[in-house]
A and B are shown apart, each in its own frame.
Chain A
Amino acid sequence: IAGITQAPTSQILAAGRRMTLRCTQDMRHNAMYWYRQDLGLGLRLIHYSNTAGTTGKGEVPDGYSVSRANTDDFPLTLASAVPSQTSVYFCASSPKVNQPQHFGDGTRLSIL
């Protein structure tokens, strides 16, 4: 079934550790995105990629990095996790810019 796969589904992580959240799509979409969802704040864009080989900063990029080596994969890395990064993280993709986005099922991350 075509869609977005995120891994892991959930993770508990000690503060200061490095963590990479994985995102893979099989729809051949050009654009991909990472959001975090926090209660009462909706979804906030962390980083995005309009096409393979390019990335850009969203609304809340600090403490996070991304890469887009190919069309299908868009990993999100927390270099040194802090408790304020406890959140639910969603990966999304769209065929091209300004098109409807399709979402994965999320990764629930707790930083202790």
Chain B
Amino acid sequence: AQSVTQPDIHITVSEGASLELRCNYSYGATPYLFWYVQSPGQGLQLLLKYFSGDTLVQGIKGFEAEFKRSQSSFNLRKPSVHWSDAAEYFCAAYAYGNKLVFGAGTILRVKS
């Protein structure tokens, strides 16, 4: 079955430290890939997307993600985390048709 996996349910990092959130997908072809962020009580906001081309994509708020076909991964990174980055992050993929499949999410806590 097509799926998106986020192995980490919770991650805690110190403010100013680097961040990497993991995402793996299971599809035969290269899917369209996305990262969304959700603050408490809010809807989801698109951080970045990958459709094709350069495997390192830049997004909003200083985030980037790298598509690695060999590892079926699309990990999200940020060089220096700010307290305002505390939120829940979702990886998602379109594979076949118009159905966007989401991972279960990773909750990011930022220590001051």
Candidates B90, B100, B104; contact of A45 at CB < 8 Å = B100
Residue with the greatest number of chain A CB neighbours at <10 A, chosen from B34, B41, B42, B98? B98
Number of A-B residue pairs, CB cutoff 8 Å, is 48
Contact B43 A42 (CB under 8 A): no
How far apart sit A67 and B45, CA to CA, in the bound complex (Å)?
25
Q: Which A14-41 residues sit within 8 Å CB-CB of chain B? A: 31, 33, 40-41
**B30 smallest CB distance to A (angstroms):** 13
A38: nearest chain-B partner, CB-CB: B104
Contacting residues, chain B, for A59 (C-beta < 8 A) = 99
Residue tally, chain B, CB below 8 Å to A: 21
A75 CB-CB contact with B under 8 Å: no
Contact A105 B99 (CB under 8 A): no
Contact A103 B44 (CB under 8 A): yes
How far apart sit A103 and B46, CA to CA, in the bound complex (Å)?
9
With A41-B104, A42-B105 given, is the CB distance from A105 to B42 under 8 Å?
Answer: yes
**A101 smallest CB distance to B (angstroms):** 6
A84 CB-CB contact with B under 8 Å: no
Q: Which B55-100 residues sit within 8 Å CB-CB of chain A? A: 90, 94, 97-100
Candidates A44, A90, A98; contact of B94 at CB < 8 Å = A98
Contacting residues, chain A, for B43 (C-beta < 8 A) = 4, 90, 103-106
Contact A103 B45 (CB under 8 A): yes
With A48-B99, A102-B46 given, is the CB distance from A40 to B34 under 8 Å?
Answer: no
B residues whose Cβ falls under 8 Å from a Cβ of A: 9, 32, 34, 36, 41-46, 49, 90, 94, 97-100, 102-105
Can you list the 10 inter-chain pairs with the closest CB atoms, starting with the nearest? A103-B43, A97-B98, A42-B102, A103-B44, A42-B104, A43-B102, A105-B43, A98-B94, A100-B46, A104-B43
